[in-house]
Amino acid sequence: MFIAPLITLLSAIVPFALSDSTSTAFVDNPLSISFHGDDDDYYNVGVDVGGRPFEVRLDINQPELWVMDERSFPHCSDVQNWWSSVDSQYPSSIPETVTTEALYTAGACLDQPGYQPPASMASPLVAQTNGAAVNVPYIASTNASGVWATDKVGINFTNGSVARWSNFTFIDVKESSLLYGGFGLATNPRGSGLLTSLQQSRFIKSPGYSLWFGNTTRYNVNVTTQKYGYIIPGVVDPSRYVGTLYSFPVVGHKGFRYPQEQNYDNSVVGNLNLPIVVLDNLELLNPKDGSVSFISNTNVAPFPVALSSRSIFSFLPNSILIDLAIQTNAYYSADVSRWLVGCEAIRNAQARIRFKFNDLEITMPLENLIENAIFGGKQLKFQDDQSACTLLVLSSDRNGAASLGLPFLEHVYMVMDNEAGHVALAQRQEATEDDNPARVADDAAARGNSTDNATAPDNANARAATPSSSLSKSSTTRTAASAAYIENGFIPYAESVTTDTSYVFTYSQVNSLVIDASQVPARFSGALVSDGAYIITGYYATGSGVSTVNTNPAESSSSRGEGSGNSGTVGATRAVSMAAVWTVMGFLGVICMI
């Protein structure tokens, strides 16, 4: 799963000289870290922990590296085998004695080997104690907790070089609602922190980063296109975006993520600099007649939204969600806790959705906000036999905060100045075959990169230049040498945007992920799942509008929660084996972030 083996350095990270000048420092060959989404909707980054390869999620909303503990979670294959055995033994009903067994009550499982702490652990170089309890500081309704651990950690760069630390402090998670650990990229880590460690090791000038996604095709049972992208630590690469790169001050946030007795954890979340921006408007564009439909409600827009790399769903205020449902003929089903639309109707419309942030406009195909609706391993269909798709938007009440997920991020080039608290966005540059990580690795191998000269850009490649030079941020010249370092308070090439400082991003503790169906207007409710595959609504995917029938939401269809609120059975069209695991594990709500 971790494709490239680690390359051993001489004995430690070899630092290089970075200019202390405040002028722009350009670099010919910026380091990058690839991430990929081979078999599901999410993106994994390879990391070596304790001498073993792991894959962890791209994680821009918290600052720590964390992995799942081997002794604390069952393996997903064991869970699936156990449920297959239970189903064969008890085809009609499950005895109460079975419901107390560990594999029945498991809250998460391991899709890869977990972390095994060494008998003797290295001493932390940060102000933490190995074995002390800690929560991963997520602002949204995501939970992961464990203990501090210190071990060897290494990350591979796409040019074949590696960064390795012998005393890296991270979180060994023992309880989680998630399937994978996290490659934290936010600021203010209490552990070692990956970006902070790269800065301290003189790889980068500032613990910022930029993010580019290479393929925007959402995972589909009929599509096998590889999904990938790059983290570019500490650097802006202007070849990765088109148009203007706009820089926004991040919106401040406040709230209570944890109960009041966990005030320390609340303060940790409160100190995070997160990519939160003000969304001014959403528009639906019809390419056939050039018409524009507004789908933002003036009572709530503009409003702050967080950008999220761990969710395929976007969470928006309920009134905006209803407007979007009207425009897309979406129908809400309490059976599957999802908004459902006709797949072909959306795809054939070729409509685009436009997100407006002050002067910045990001457009993307509307079809990138839908996925095949799978329930119990079956493709859901409407009564006219047309396939149903899940609308990848839910109410922000369900998440505790408003956010834009991976379908949006896949269409932007994002830069984060973690020190000063600025986020820059632009429309991403389309990928070429040369951007594919496999091609990049082959090219690096052909050039014969060594660990001595590929650890980081050397002095010859990092040169100082004034903003008035030919490669200044106002220049339209784009060359391989024009990538430039992010510095505290300065994002190269970005045009600063002045925003209203009165906006505050608020969030709250969420006790349940189950949607209150009473919040859904009657004309959109009442969609039932019949025979495990067909949606009974009175709405036909080929129709010109939405109609309703007088029905009541069905109750949960089984004691394992395969009815309302079941996790992962709809919307996540990943490998069948994992879909089966999430189907049978019966968590409350829906795993929207894994």
Indicate if the pLDDT at residue 212 is higher than 80. yes
pLDDT of residue 299: 67
Q: Which residue has the higher pLDDT, 77 or 297?
A: 77
pLDDT of residue 375: 78
Indicate if the pLDDT at residue 8 is higher than 50. no
For the segment 311-337, the average pLDDT, to the nearest whole number, is 88
237-257 residue pLDDT tens: 999 999 999 999 999 999 888
pLDDT of residue 364: 95
pLDDT of residue 129: 98
Indicate if the pLDDT at residue 36 is higher than 80. yes
Specify whether the CB–CB gap between 251 and 428 falls below 8 A. Answer: no
For the segment 490-514, the average pLDDT, to the nearest whole number, is 82
**Tokens matching residue 19:** 């200019």
pLDDT band at 100 (very low <50, low <70, confident <90, very high): confident
Indicate if the pLDDT at residue 584 is higher than 50. no
pLDDT of residue 25: 82
pLDDT of residue 261: 87
Indicate if the pLDDT at residue 550 is higher than 70. no
Q: What is the DSSP string of 379-433?
A: E-EETTSPBEEEESEEEGGGTTS-EE-HHHHTTEEEEEETTTTEEEEEEEPPP-G
Distance of CA 465 to the CA centre of its chain: 35
Among the listed ranges 16-25, 32-41, 365-374, 479-488, which one has the minimum average pLDDT value?
16-25
pLDDT of residue 464: 29
For the segment 116-126, the average pLDDT, to the nearest whole number, is 96
Dihedral through CA 437, CA 443, CA 444, CA 449, nearest 10?
180
Closest CA to 407 of 342, 360, 347, 362: 362
Specify whether the CB–CB gap between 337 and 589 falls below 8 A. Answer: yes
Highest mean pLDDT among 344-353, 379-388, 415-424 belongs to 415-424
Among the listed ranges 44-58, 242-256, 291-305, which one has the minimum average pLDDT value?
291-305
Indicate if the pLDDT at residue 211 is higher than 50. yes
Residue ranges of the domains in the chain? 1-8+27-73+108-278+400-467+483-510, 75-99
pLDDT of residue 41: 80
For the segment 310-330, the average pLDDT, to the nearest whole number, is 91
pLDDT of residue 16: 41
pLDDT of residue 494: 97
Indicate if the pLDDT at residue 75 is higher than 70. yes
**Which residue pairs, CB below 8 angstroms and at least 24 apart, start in 263-270?**
265/135, 265/137, 268/135, 268/137, 268/190, 269/137, 269/138, 269/139
Q: How many CB atoms lie within 10 A of CB 121?
A: 17
Q: How many CB atoms lie within 10 A of CB 381?
A: 17
Q: Distance between the two ends of the chain, CA-based, in angstroms? A: 17
pLDDT of residue 258: 86
Closest CA to 495 of 301, 290, 352, 358: 358
Please state, in angstroms and rounded to a whole number, the distance separating the CA atoms of residues 490 and 562: 50
**Which residue is it, tokens 């009473």?**
518
Give the chain's count of helices (H) and strands (E): 9, 38
pLDDT of residue 592: 55
Specify whether the CB–CB gap between 160 and 166 falls below 8 A. Answer: no
For the segment 257-261, the average pLDDT, to the nearest whole number, is 86
Specify whether the CB–CB gap between 303 and 280 falls below 8 A. Answer: no
pLDDT band at 192 (very low <50, low <70, confident <90, very high): very high
State whether CATH 1.10.3720.10 applies to domain 1-8+27-73+108-278+400-467+483-510. no
For the segment 8-30, the average pLDDT, to the nearest whole number, is 53
**Percent of all residues in the chain with a pLDDT value above 90, rounded to a whole number:** 50
pLDDT of residue 593: 61
pLDDT band at 259 (very low <50, low <70, confident <90, very high): confident
Indicate if the pLDDT at residue 465 is higher than 50. no
pLDDT of residue 445: 55
pLDDT of residue 50: 97
pLDDT band at 298 (very low <50, low <70, confident <90, very high): low
Q: Which residue has the higher pLDDT, 35 or 567?
A: 35
pLDDT of residue 99: 87
Indicate if the pLDDT at residue 264 is higher than 60. yes
Helices (H), 432-557: 437-447
**Percent of all residues in the chain with a pLDDT value above 70, rounded to a whole number:** 71
Closest CA to 40 of 186, 144, 179, 167: 179
Mean pLDDT score of the chain, rounded to an integer?
77
585-594 residue pLDDT tens: 332 233 456 7
398-419 residue pLDDT tens: 877 899 999 999 999 999 999 9
Indicate if the pLDDT at residue 349 is higher than 60. yes
pLDDT of residue 78: 93
Dihedral through CA 352, CA 357, CA 362, CA 367, nearest 10?
-40
Q: Which residue has the higher pLDDT, 568 or 375?
A: 375
pLDDT band at 67 (very low <50, low <70, confident <90, very high): very high
Indicate if the pLDDT at residue 397 is higher than 70. yes
Indicate if the pLDDT at residue 177 is higher than 70. yes
Indicate if the pLDDT at residue 30 is higher than 70. yes
Indicate if the pLDDT at residue 55 is higher than 70. yes
Residue 438 contacts by C-beta under 8 Å, 6 or more apart in sequence?
Answer: none
Closest CA to 126 of 153, 107, 103, 108: 153
